[in-house]
């Protein structure tokens, strides 16, 4: 009797726990299904059909959209995008990692202020912040004027409308996305490990490279993905700071939908970017698991 | 076609989808029966126009004059509004502003109402030339709102008046890096097409190949591809010459009288932006009343003063003839405009144009 009752009590508890989980996870799942899963499936479906004259698709099966994506002109755009997004990511890590590390070592009061400063730019519209770079960099802009006026250069430099300007714009836009996850992982770092290492005679460099870096690497990789992926997809920065002379995958996709009205081809290009994103996250998860496994064993 | 005024300055214009009216498609190509005694104050009107391409108080003025409350939605490009109008079902719009070649396409798709001239007596105010434009001779399904051409907007205090598209495509040493071209497919291609003596609607492979090579060769000489801020580059001195739509050049002239507009000798395009009434509209009487309201000379003149684009309304243009003193291209006559080639929808050739543009801009 007693055993049976307690068993049914356990069953009820389990059901309650399940109900609670469904209630908590439900809205999120619904959101993801509605606004991510279904659209991605739509994109996948569109990619196999033909272009409708006014946008949309004609329901005739074709693989031609995929074949087109491998034409040299589009391969070049992808390569150029990878180069620009890759350079941006490396620079973001080189600048963002030390910044995050330094912030995490500040006294509590200053830490909060520093973090607020990092996210402060997000309070201003992205487009306006990008336009601000035009004001800074153009041939009649603040920087060129200042350099000419102090006699450092005789004629304005062509800073704007170059791939370099695009990288600067992307770096500026996305660097907080490296700083925040790195900060979180540096802050979570177990100080006792570091102390133990120094007590055992490890140099500061050795402590950093053997303990701090591996433990914060997953955070840094998340940050890298956060910078890399939107950089690939960004079309505003190449248009404004690249003067339309640098074409990235984002521009290409935007144009397929809004100018050429070639949804199926745009869908193919979008799928390639999504595939890349999935690949990067898988890589990040794999490396993180290996690092965690190693620390757990140690 | 993408035109935004400096007043809005917005690159990306969010558009509020106004789905106020629910109805089924009318079907059939014949015009609907219109009720001459319809109570217009009981109807509502939802229109979509380019952002900043109409006077700000248009809705209030229209309601004051006709009694129909009106909601104005904005689009940034023809493609954007086309996507909404062709998505199926009722778009919720009664009147849409689209360029001529798009109006033609909408008519072919059976989405627009045939215009009933009895309800638009002000059609008589249009220039005769504006009633016979190639995309819709006789204005059977569209009514022109504004028209113009594409040319070179330049700083007359810095450079000579350009007479050829090659001023942009093969700039002299002192102008290298100080010229811009438009970024949208059709207009990015236009200067090279015209400089080579081809049609702006060409789909001939060999011709397109030549156009592509010319554009690739021209790219290093350009400061940027730009169809949103080109006139302000002239004002700041960043550029000496820019490819521009006539009306938009006027925004530069307004800030610096030395900024002038020229149509190169090889010729250019003639574009017209039109008003169409959607077949799905439940407020067709009010929609006709709106088109008639715009064509009223006083109103159309007020539109021209506000947007600084030419309107195809003879009486209205006579009323604002003074504008040509400050903005000479407002004085271009219909005969001069008709020298330009009308752009037609490319249909299946559109991806080819787009591919060439990608090859050029990513070269």
Identify the structural domains of chain A with CATH numbers, from first to last: 69-297 (1.10.3720.10)
Q: Assess contact for B288 and B34: CB atoms under 8 A.
A: yes
Give A3's pLDDT tier (boundaries 50, 70, 90).
low
Could you tell me which chain A residue has the CA closest to the CA of B102? A54
CB contact under 8 A, B224 and A262: no
Helix (H, G, I), strand (E, B) or coil at B269: strand
Split at pLDDT 50, 70, 90, the class of A260 is confident
ipTM: 0.75
Contacts of B213 (CB under 8 A, 6+ apart): none
What does pLDDT average to over chain B? 88
Segment A163-203, tens digit of pLDDT = 999 999 999 999 999 999 999 999 988 888 888 888 888 88
Interface list for chain B against chain A, based on CB atoms closer than 8 Å: 11-12, 77, 79-80, 82-83, 86-87, 105, 109, 177, 180, 183-185, 219, 222-226, 236-238, 347-348, 350-351, 353-355, 357-359, 361-362
The minimal CB distance from B359 to the residues A73, A138, A260 is found for A73
Q: Which residue has the higher pLDDT, B160 or A56?
A: B160
pLDDT band at B30 (very low <50, low <70, confident <90, very high): low
Alpha-carbon distances of B98 from A96, B115, B285, rounded to whole Å: 47, 15, 20
Res. B24 pLDDT band, cuts 50 70 90: very low
Determine the Cα–Cα distance for residues A169 and A181; give it in Å rounded to an integer.
21
**Contact present, B30 and B114 (Cβ < 8 Å):** yes
Residues of chain A contacting B, Cβ within 8 Å: 51, 53-56, 73-74, 76-77, 80, 127, 138-140, 158, 161, 236, 239-240, 243-247, 252, 255-256, 258-262, 265
Distance CA A142, CA A162 (A): 17
The band of B7, judged by pLDDT with boundaries at 50, 70 and 90, is very low
Cα distance between residue A293 and residue A30, in whole Å: 33
Q: What angle do CA B91, B92, B95 make, to 5 degrees?
A: 95
C-alpha angle B196-B197-B203 in degrees, rounded to nearest 5: 90
Q: Please, which residues have CB within 8 angstroms of residue A10's CB and are 6 or more apart in sequence?
A: none
Nearest chain B Cα to A245, which residue? B361
Q: What's the average model confidence in pLDDT over A139-159?
A: 85
Q: How far is B239 from chain A (nearest CA, A)?
A: 9
CA distance A174 to A24: 31
Structure tokens at B201: 């609607």
Nearest-angstrom CA–CA distance, B229 and B11: 9
CB B100 within 8 A of CB B144: yes
The span from the CA of B189 to the CA of B200, in Å, is 8
Q: Please give the model's pTM, rounded to 2 decimal places.
A: 0.79
Q: List all residues 6 or more positions away from B297 whose beta carbon is below 8 Å from its beta carbon.
A: B122, B125, B313, B315, B316, B319
Taking only the tens place, the pLDDT of each residue in B218-242 is 999 999 998 888 888 999 899 999 9
Instruction: Find the helix packing angle between B350-361 and A72-104, rounded to 10°.
Output: 50
Ranking A56-65, A118-127, A234-243, B75-84 by mean pLDDT, the lowest is B75-84
Place of tokens 């989980």: A21
Q: What is the pLDDT of residue A14?
A: 80
Q: Give the one of B79, B226, B355 whose C-beta lies nearest to A261's C-beta.
A: B79
CA distance A253 to A249: 6
Cβ pair B248, B182 in contact under 8 A: no
Res. A4 pLDDT band, cuts 50 70 90: low
Helix or strand or coil: residue A169?
A: helix
pLDDT in the model for residue A18: 79
Q: Do A56 and B87 touch (CB under 8 A)?
A: yes
What is the least distance, in Å, from the CA of B359 to any CA of chain A?
A: 6
What is the 3-state secondary structure of A35-63?
Answer: HHHHHHHHHHHHCCCEECECECEECCCCC
What confidence score (pLDDT) does residue B16 get?
29
Query: Phi, psi at residue B176, to the nearest 5°?
Result: -60, 130
Q: What is the mean pLDDT of chain A?
A: 88
What mean pLDDT comes out for the span B306-323? 94
Chain A residues in contact with B105 by the CB 8 A cut-off are 53-54
Per the listing, tokens 């890096």 go with B177
Burial of residue A182 (number of CB atoms within 10 Å: 0-12, 13-18, 19+): buried
Q: Mark yes or no for CB contact A258/B80 under 8 Å.
A: yes
Q: CA-CA distance, A80 to A248, in Å (whole number)? A: 7
pLDDT of residue A235: 92
Alpha helix segments (H runs only) across B296-343: 297-307, 314-319, 323-326, 334-337
From the list A72, A65, A28, A67, the residue with the least C-alpha distance to A50 is: A65
Q: Is A76 exposed, middle or buried (0-12, 13-18, 19+ CB in 10 A)?
A: middle
Chain A positions touching B82 (Cβ under 8 A) are 54-55, 261
Per residue in B45-84, is it b (16+ CB within 10 Å) or e — as a string?
Answer: bbbbbbbbbbbeebbeebbeebebbbbbbbbbbbbbbbbb
Counting residues of chain B whose pLDDT is more than 70, the rounded percentage is 91
Tell me the C-alpha distance between A284 and B194, whole Å. 52
The DSSP-derived string for B250-264 is HHHHHH-TTEEEE--
- Domains of chain B (ranges, CATH numbers): 40-147+270-332 (3.40.190.10), 150-267+340-361 (3.40.190.10)
Which of A243, A286, A177, A46 minimizes the C-alpha distance to B183?
A: A243
Report, as an integer, the average pLDDT of B320-345.
Answer: 90
Q: Which residue has the higher pLDDT, A8 or B186?
A: B186
At A261 the pLDDT is: 80
A70 pLDDT higher than 90: yes
CA angle B193, B307, B293 (to 5 degrees): 115
Which position has the higher pLDDT, B199 or B84?
A: B199
Contact B226 A244 (CB under 8 A): yes
């Amino acid at each position: 009797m007693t055993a049976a009752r307690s068993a049914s009590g356990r069953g009820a508890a389990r059901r309650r726990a399940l109900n609670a989980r469904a209630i908590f996870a439900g809205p999120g799942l619904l959101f993801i299904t509605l606004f991510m899963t279904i659209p991605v499936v739509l994109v996948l479906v569109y990619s196999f059909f033909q272009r409708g004259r006014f946008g949309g698709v004609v329901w005739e099966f074709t693989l031609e959209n995929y074949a087109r994506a491998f034409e040299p002109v589009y391969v070049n755009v992808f390569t150029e995008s990878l180069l620009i997004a890759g350079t941006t990511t490396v620079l973001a890590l080189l600048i963002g990692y030390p910044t995050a590390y330094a912030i995490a070592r500040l006294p509590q009061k200053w830490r909060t202020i520093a973090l607020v400063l990092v996210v402060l730019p997000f309070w201003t519209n992205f487009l306006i912040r990008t336009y601000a770079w035009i004001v800074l960099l153009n041939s009649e802009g603040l920087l060129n004027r200042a350099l000419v006026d102090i006699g450092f250069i005789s004629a304005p430099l062509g800073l704007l409308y170059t791939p370099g300007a695009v990288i600067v714009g992307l770096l500026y836009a996305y660097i907080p996305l490296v700083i925040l996850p790195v900060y979180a992982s540096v802050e979570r770092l177990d100080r006792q490990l570091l102390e133990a290492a120094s007590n055992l005679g490890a140099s500061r460099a050795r402590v950093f490279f053997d303990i701090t870096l591996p433990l914060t690497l997953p955070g840094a990789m998340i940050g890298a993905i956060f910078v890399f992926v939107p950089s690939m997809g960004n079309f505003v920065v190449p248009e404004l700071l690249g003067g339309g002379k640098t074409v990235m995958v984002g521009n290409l996709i935007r144009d397929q939908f809004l100018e050429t009205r070639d949804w199926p081809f745009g869908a193919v290009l979008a799928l390639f970017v999504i595939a890349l994103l999935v690949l990067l996250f898988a890589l990040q998860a794999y490396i993180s698991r290996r690092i965690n496994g190693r620390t757990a064993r140690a | 076609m993408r035109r935004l005024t400096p007043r809005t300055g917005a690159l990306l214009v969010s558009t509020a989808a106004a789905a106020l009216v629910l109805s089924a498609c009318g079907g059939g190509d014949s015009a609907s029966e219109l009720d001459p005694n319809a109570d217009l104050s009981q109807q509502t009107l939802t229109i979509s126009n380019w952002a900043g391409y109409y006077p700000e108080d248009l809705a209030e003025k229209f309601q004051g004059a006709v009694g129909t409350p009106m909601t104005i939605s904005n689009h940034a490009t023809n493609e954007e509004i086309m996507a909404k109008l062709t998505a199926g079902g009722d778009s919720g719009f009664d009147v849409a502003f689209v360029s001529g070649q798009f109006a033609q396409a909408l008519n072919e798709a059976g989405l627009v109402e045939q215009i009933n001239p009895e309800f638009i007596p002000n059609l008589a105010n249009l220039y005769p030339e504006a009633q016979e434009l190639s995309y819709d001779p006789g204005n059977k399904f569209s009514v022109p709102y504004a028209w113009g051409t594409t040319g070179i907007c330049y700083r007359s205090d810095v450079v000579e008046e350009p007479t050829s598209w090659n001023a942009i495509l093969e700039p002299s040493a002192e102008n290298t890096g100080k010229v811009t071209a438009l970024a949208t497919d059709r207009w990015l291609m236009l200067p090279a097409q015209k400089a080579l003596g081809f049609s702006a609607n060409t789909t001939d492979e060999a011709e397109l190949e030549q156009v592509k090579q010319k554009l690739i060769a021209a790219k290093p000489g350009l400061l940027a591809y730009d169809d949103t801020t080109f006139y302000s580059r002239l004002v700041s001195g960043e550029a000496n010459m820019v490819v521009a739509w006539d009306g938009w050049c006027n925004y530069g002239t307004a800030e610096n009288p030395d900024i002038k507009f020229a149509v190169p000798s090889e010729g250019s395009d003639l574009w017209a932006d039109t008003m169409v009434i959607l077949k799905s509209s439940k407020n067709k009487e009010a929609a006709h009343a709106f088109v008639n309201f715009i064509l009223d000379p006083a109103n159309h003149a007020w539109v021209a003063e506000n947007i600084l684009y030419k309107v195809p309304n003879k009486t209205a243009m006579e009323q604002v003839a003074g504008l040509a003193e400050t903005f000479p291209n407002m004085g271009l006559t219909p005969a001069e405009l008709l020298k330009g080639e009308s752009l037609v929808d490319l249909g299946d050739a559109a991806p080819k144009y787009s591919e060439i543009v990608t090859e050029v801009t990513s070269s």
